[in-house]
Structure 1
């Protein structure tokens, strides 16, 4: 940090550069909102439909993957040594392989944006705004996400830090307020369909952890190197963001009804009453969902522009609006919500998980390779 600051000051505008960086704590806020929406809401129906009552038990077993994942991720981050992903890939694998990898990364990030947007708009139009045209919802949301993404990583971090505390407080409210309606005997018995039936849910519960590889896309923007302890805390927190709504949904509705619900986490809000006269508290869920979707989409949009780091500002704005146009198109296409659910459960999220595993393995292998060093030695040999 000190050396980076001195280098920036030598460039004559150090303060401005430092202000654009974010801290590890702010990084936690970003991921708890972004991946939190995924783990806490979007993936819950998949887990219940594939594993039923056993889903909560196998979600806890995901903790066993954390030590291996932390080692791989921390090694990649350490080896990148505060360099951007684009430069690091070129130094390790050469320009051509770098371009291929970045192409697939951009495709993945665009798919993340579109899947999250479609899920969000479908939820809003099927639970609250039945008669409201989708365009009236998606256009303001898209413009806000584009504005935040163009404002930079620090703006995303500050927005996350502001939005997260209320999201956490509302989560505590719904979890504690619904205690009288919970019957934890619904969590047992386990393994009714065999001991290994629940293993199928791993491809969903592990996906949230694998998304932490996005940290390598912007680690050079951190004021401090994110420690292994911080990564462990983040991983455990993400696992419990799956475990919490799973156990609550099964305890409140029973495994059969919870499995049949499209949005079990949202339905928990509909049970909550405050005293005798305050009901219909489910409007609080709007804030929770939109806060997570706002940060998740904005982060992905920002990372897309970072891949094109040598482009002009006008070109980056053009890229943002091009992806924004796709967001609008995907949201207004008359595609059934349940068909979308089936498609994402069967193809998209398992495919995205496999892609992140391959990408993480590729980056991990890159920590043992130095393309430029090999090329330098080869040139020296030729000269001799």
Structure 2
């Protein structure tokens, strides 16, 4: 059986994996940073995000295999720090989604359910899917994503009656620094595309600049669209006070007077996206360690148990919010440094080949 996925399936995985981050986690941070001008920040991130996406395509074309395989073959001494660094990186992505999902579930529709029960159910199904491999995750995502998108279009269209886009103006009421900071956070969400470097062994076919540009634009829209809609619906000051502004739109969504509550669809939208994000993160962490591990099945269990235990630690929502901000700042710096290192390696490899040919 061929377990490899196509570039189209990879693109769909990127949209779901990063989409929940841009759609749910980043929006409160952007409102915090840029207030009413948060939607300007999202637009300002379009050009740097597209350039970043094209850089990722260039690097992806020039690395011979997945980074974990490449590092393992070329520099055995570097394998451990490299693996530890990106284990922390992908664990942070999974942990943020796990905690946000648990807290949101307990706040909205599972108010009397212990957090450990929600966490165990969520990680149990993510563990099972990750164990089945990348192809299983991609196929499951192909079934879930169209309905996630349809739910998004539904909540956007039925809520037009409550929106006043005059709330988006006047623009540039805040400092250039705050707008730039918002653009930085938006771009930092796009940096998570670097996960493609860890999946190259599992992808058949080429990742094209057009393909990547479309993915980046969709991800920016997943931030800009809900952000503008939230400000237009609730006003900039009320929106800034909300913990889950994207979900608050669902409280208003209804179909006529006979079906006044349709926010149960938001449960599907959130859980489906979080499920794909966490499953893929577990799978990537597994690929980082599996070449040095004798029992692959046990490794999946250990990763899942670690994520479960870590997310049972007591942490106030205010501190969690600050940690998420720090994560996005650190991840952008990590991505920048890592891309520079990869470009140097690619350049050195080209020079080495040229010297051999001339010799």
Q: Calculate the TM-score normalised by the size of structure 2.
A: 0.93
CA distance in structure 1 between the partners assigned to 2:143 and 2:194 by the alignment: 24
Query: Residue 224 of structure 1 is aligned with which of 205, 217, 226?
Result: 205
RMSD after superposition:
2.1
Query: Residue 322 of structure 1 is aligned with which of 297, 302, 310?
Result: 302
Question: Which deviates the most, 42-51 or 68-77?
Answer: 68-77
CA distance in structure 2 between the partners assigned to 1:52 and 1:67 by the alignment: 24
Counterparts in 2 of 1:229-244, with a 5 A limit?
A: 229-244=210-225
Counterparts in 2 of 1:151-300, with a 5 A limit?
A: 151-300=132-281
User: Does 2:12 align with 1:29?
Assistant: yes
SS of the counterpart of 2:257?
coil
CA distance in structure 1 between the partners assigned to 2:69 and 2:176 by the alignment: 46
CA distance in structure 2 between the partners assigned to 1:364 and 1:294 by the alignment: 33
User: Does 2:346 align with 1:367?
Assistant: yes
CA distance in structure 2 between the partners assigned to 1:87 and 1:138 by the alignment: 32
Name 1:351's counterpart in structure 2: 330
CA distance in structure 1 between the partners assigned to 2:141 and 2:188 by the alignment: 21
Give 1:339 deviation, angstroms.
Answer: 2.5
Give 1:95 deviation, angstroms.
Answer: 2.2
CA distance in structure 1 between the partners assigned to 2:275 and 2:298 by the alignment: 20
Cα offsets for 1:115-163 (capped at 9, x unmatched): 2111110111111111111122111211111111111110010011010
Cα offsets for 1:32-61 (capped at 9, x unmatched): 111000001111000001100111011111
Name 1:55's counterpart in structure 2: 38
Mark the CA change 1:156 to 1:167 in structure 2 (over 3 Å): closer, same or farther: same
SS of the counterpart of 2:291?
coil
Mark the CA change 1:331 to 1:104 in structure 2 (over 3 Å): closer, same or farther: closer
Counterparts in 2 of 1:24-103, with a 5 A limit?
A: 24-81=7-64, 83-90=65-72, 94-103=75-84
Contact kept in structure 1, 2:189 and 2:328, CA below 8 Å: no
CA distance in structure 2 between the partners assigned to 1:98 and 1:202 by the alignment: 34
SS of the counterpart of 2:110?
coil
Contact kept in structure 1, 2:163 and 2:229, CA below 8 Å: yes
Counterparts in 2 of 1:122-141, with a 5 A limit?
A: 122-141=103-122
Structure of larger gyration radius: 1
Name 1:339's counterpart in structure 2: 319
Give 1:89 deviation, angstroms.
Answer: 2.9
CA distance in structure 1 between the partners assigned to 2:126 and 2:313 by the alignment: 20
CA distance in structure 2 between the partners assigned to 1:97 and 1:328 by the alignment: 29
Question: Which deviates the most, 114-123 or 254-263?
Answer: 114-123
Give 1:371 deviation, angstroms.
Answer: 10
Contact kept in structure 1, 2:290 and 2:299, CA below 8 Å: no
User: Does 2:89 align with 1:108?
Assistant: yes
SS of the counterpart of 1:132?
coil
CA distance in structure 1 between the partners assigned to 2:294 and 2:219 by the alignment: 35
User: Does 2:125 align with 1:144?
Assistant: yes
Contact kept in structure 1, 2:254 and 2:260, CA below 8 Å: yes
